[in-house]
Chain A
């Protein structure tokens, strides 16, 4: 069984500063994918960034980067130059192959990020 752990229930960051949200995972499957999603108070889950287990380089998407350390089983999200609109809940998630035709996405408990002036 796979497991995702986010140990920071809440984080504060000042506007324009960088922040790192932690995520560790546990799986015995060699093929998996790691995702970060943002959920504002409106409820919609917004896809931010993806890292595949075989990817050699850390994923980046604009102000988001993923610090992937496979041996430590960690996939931390780094947000650079924080903006007020970044205030939201952030979920780390992992997909493993579930059957031959489907896979399952499991989420961590989330980190609530508050960006302050």
Chain B
């Protein structure tokens, strides 16, 4: 089973709202990732967690706050977002943080109004 699940599928939020995106995998993977993808562009890495510790933060604004409560779960907390943050947010996981293939979830399509 190579399934990564993400909820919600779609999210519309105002600039003053606080919301969270959730990602889950049960493949025993120890690395998890958040990517942001704008329309007609490739995904851009935001954060990497390895063994539940934040390993990479690609200079993401603090209005995005990741959390990895356990090895199966990854959250992205959103607060005071801007309209330009509207995008597809993809979660991925891999066996480790080395050169392993990443398996992606279906994404959350976020619209900030």
Interface residues of A (CB under 8 A from B): 31-33, 35, 37, 42-47, 50, 52, 91, 95, 97-99, 101-110
| Docked CA distance A91–B86 (Å) | 21
Chain A residue at minimal CB-CB distance from B108: A43
Q: Mark B19-46, 1 if CB is under 8 A from A, else 0.
A: 0000000000001010000000111010
The answer to whether B101 and A102 touch across the interface, beta carbons within 8 angstroms, is: no
Count of chain B residues with a beta carbon within 8 Å of a chain A beta carbon: 28
State which of B42, B45, B55, B102 has its C-beta within 8 Å of the C-beta of A101: B55
The answer to whether B99 and A45 touch across the interface, beta carbons within 8 angstroms, is: no
Chain A residue at minimal CB-CB distance from B55: A102
B50 within 8 A of A: yes
State which of B56, B90, B103, B109 has its C-beta within 8 Å of the C-beta of A104: B56
Q: Is the interface of A mostly helix, strand, loop or mixed?
A: strand
List residues of chain A with CB within 8 A of the CB of B45: 104-106
The answer to whether B56 and A44 touch across the interface, beta carbons within 8 angstroms, is: no
The answer to whether A44 and B107 touch across the interface, beta carbons within 8 angstroms, is: yes
| Docked CA distance A33–B106 (Å) | 23
State which of A43, A104, A109, A110 has its C-beta within 8 Å of the C-beta of B48: A104
